[in-house]
């Protein structure tokens, strides 16, 4: 189940997969997919299931069907490493969609920009629009609300019986929203919210306000 939130007179839909849909801009915002990571790990002997690769593309397709966005904006670290088989899968996926795709380059995006341009993807260092500042790394810009990734935020939900459930989350502070990592096998950095911060944990099926 999605969770709707309003920020600076704009509507945003938080999705259980970790993406945000921005209706006013017809834009789907996604951070830290890290395509290629599964293949990279497998190449170096890690027992990561191949199904994880397909899962990333399955989630992307589900989001496209649900929101039908004009724009898909990847907030950095779209691809984890140098070219591997997952790049070919990504090229094939791009060729089958009609959305405008944009990439805000992250620290892992080392593939030549020419490769992205050849498949119609525009690359930016950041995007400023309607008082919002879209980046990969968290950054504060005066009079703007920052939407970003990079951190892979997570939250530990504690039960009455001392159980601890570790979940990815959206992390909102006064002037910033950090998206969870979208990709499989990306790990989390567990956040410590301060007064006024909000946590929206995700389970893959629902978004849970956690504080």
Residue pLDDT, tens place only, 62-98: 999 999 999 999 999 998 776 778 888 899 999 999 9
Q: pLDDT at residue 211 above 90?
A: no
- Percent of the chain's residues with pLDDT above 70: 90
Q: What is the predicted pLDDT for the residue at 44? A: 44
Q: What distance in Å separates the CA atoms of residue 121 and residue 72, rounded to the nearest whole number?
A: 10
Q: Kindly tell me the burial class for residue 13, based on how many C-beta atoms sit within 10 Å of its own C-beta (0-12, 13-18, 19 or more).
A: middle
Q: What distance in Å separates the CA atoms of residue 27 and residue 102, rounded to the nearest whole number?
A: 10
The full DSSP string for 17-48 is TS-EEEGGGTEEEE----BTHHHHHHHTT---
Of 148, 196, 205, give the one whose Cα is nearest residue 174.
196
- Percent of the chain's residues with pLDDT above 90: 71
Global pTM exceeds 0.75? yes
Higher-confidence position of 49 and 2: 2
Q: Could you tell me if 33 and 19 are in contact, meaning their C-beta atoms sit under 8 angstroms apart? A: no
Residue pLDDT, tens place only, 12-68: 999 999 999 999 999 999 999 988 765 545 454 454 556 667 888 999 999 999 999
Q: Could you tell me if 185 and 147 are in contact, meaning their C-beta atoms sit under 8 angstroms apart? A: no
Residue pLDDT, tens place only, 139-178: 999 999 999 999 999 998 776 666 778 899 999 999 999 9
Q: What is the predicted pLDDT for the residue at 37? A: 64
Domains, the chain, ranges and CATH? 3-209 (3.60.21)
């Amino acid at each position: 189940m999605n969770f709707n939130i309003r920020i600076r007179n704009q509507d945003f839909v938080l999705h259980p997969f970790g993406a945000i849909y921005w209706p006013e801009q017809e834009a789907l915002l996604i951070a830290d997919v890290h395509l290629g990571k599964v293949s990279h790990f497998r190449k170096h002997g890690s027992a990561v299931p191949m199904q994880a690769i397909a899962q990333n593309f399955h989630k992307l397709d589900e989001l496209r069907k649900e929101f039908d966005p004009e724009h898909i904006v990847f907030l950095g670290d779209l691809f984890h490493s140098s070219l591997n088989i997952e790049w070919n899968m990504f090229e094939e996926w791009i060729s089958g969609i009609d959305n405008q795709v944009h990439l805000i380059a992250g620290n892992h995006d080392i593939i030549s920009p020419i490769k992205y341009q050849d498949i119609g993807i525009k690359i930016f260092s950041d995007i400023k629009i309607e008082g919002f500042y879209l980046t990969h790394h968290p950054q504060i810009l005066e009079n703007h609300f920052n939407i970003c990734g990079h951190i892979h935020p997570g939250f530990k939900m504690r039960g009455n019986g001392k159980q601890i459930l570790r979940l990815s989350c959206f992390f909102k502070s006064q002037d910033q929203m950090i998206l969870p990592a979208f990709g499989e096998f990306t790990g989390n950095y567990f956040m410590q919210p301060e007064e006024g911060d909000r946590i929206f944990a995700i389970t893959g099926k629902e978004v849970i306000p956690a504080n």
